[in-house]
Chains A and B, each alone.
Chain A
Amino acid sequence: SAVISQKPSRDICQRGTSLTIQCQVDSQVTMMFWYRQQPGQSLTLIATANQGSEATYESGFVIDKFPISRPNLTFSTLTVSNMSPEDSSIYLCSVEDRTVGYTFGSGTRLTVV
């Protein structure tokens, strides 16, 4: 199955700043997915990132707040912009592996103070 490296694993950020999260996959994948997991809650899909096109955002998420890059078939970044304490969450990237289903990175635990 695909192996995903996500970094940073955690960060504490000041409100009003931005953080870029990186996701590296050890194989080429068509789609990469970004999720948010708020404290004590389940996963919510933020957007789907395809190489060579703009990301597709789910309801409640906008590009200005969560810009995504997908420069090639093995890498993607998610930026959390102009952060507030409400953005404190775990952010996870995921890819679809045809053999085993969806694989997730270990997540980025973000705390905004």
Chain B
Amino acid sequence: TQLLEQSPQFLSIQEGENLTVYCNSSSVFSSLQWYRQEPGEGPVLLVTVVTGGEVKKLKRLTFQFGDARKDSSLHITAAQPGDTGLYLCAGGHDYKLSFGAGTTVTVRA
């Protein structure tokens, strides 16, 4: 059973467009993390959010944690081909991570 639901599953956009990936759960998490994974590599941490309502910005990436700490979103502004990859959200609870199914993002040049 997947505790974290990610949507959409696939996203293909043109360079310069914006995109948003959603991560939702019925469970409350002590922290929520976003990763990007490229083929042949392990996931690389992008950000950790821990406070309900928290918004973090990392250059063109904006991460938001819901007030109830059950959902999160990742927004990319002016996407570039280098943003292509599998985006995974993961909820932390009792030192373990539960992962969403992932969103495959393709940015076309």
* A-B contacts at CB below 8 angstroms, number: 52
Q: Does B33 contact A (CB under 8 A)?
A: yes
Given the interface pairs A42-B99, A43-B88, the reply to whether A106 lies near B45 with Cβ below 8 Å is no
- State the main secondary structure of chain A at its contact with B: strand
A106 near B97 with CB under 8 A, answer no
Interface size on B, residues (CB 8 A): 21
Q: How far is the CA of A103 from the CA of B40 in the complex (A)?
A: 16
Q: Does A53 contact B (CB under 8 A)?
A: no
Contacting residue for B42 out of A31, A42, A107, CB 8 A: A107
Given the interface pairs A42-B99, A42-B101, A42-B102, the reply to whether A106 lies near B42 with Cβ below 8 Å is yes
B33 near A101 with CB under 8 A, answer yes
A1-38 CB mask vs B (1 if < 8 Å, else 0) is 00010100000000000000000000000010100000
Given the interface pairs A101-B33, A106-B40, A107-B41, the reply to whether A96 lies near B95 with Cβ below 8 Å is yes
Q: Does A45 contact B (CB under 8 A)?
A: yes
Given the interface pairs A41-B101, A42-B88, A109-B40, the reply to whether A103 lies near B95 with Cβ below 8 Å is no
Given the interface pairs A41-B101, A42-B99, A109-B40, the reply to whether A102 lies near B33 with Cβ below 8 Å is yes
Chain A residues lying within 8 Å of B31, measured Cβ to Cβ, are: 101
Q: How far is the CA of A100 from the CA of B96 in the complex (A)?
A: 15
A31 near B95 with CB under 8 A, answer yes
Q: Does B43 contact A (CB under 8 A)?
A: yes
Within 8 A of A (CB), among B7-40: 31, 33, 35, 40
Contacting residue for B45 out of A42, A45, A100, A107, CB 8 A: A100
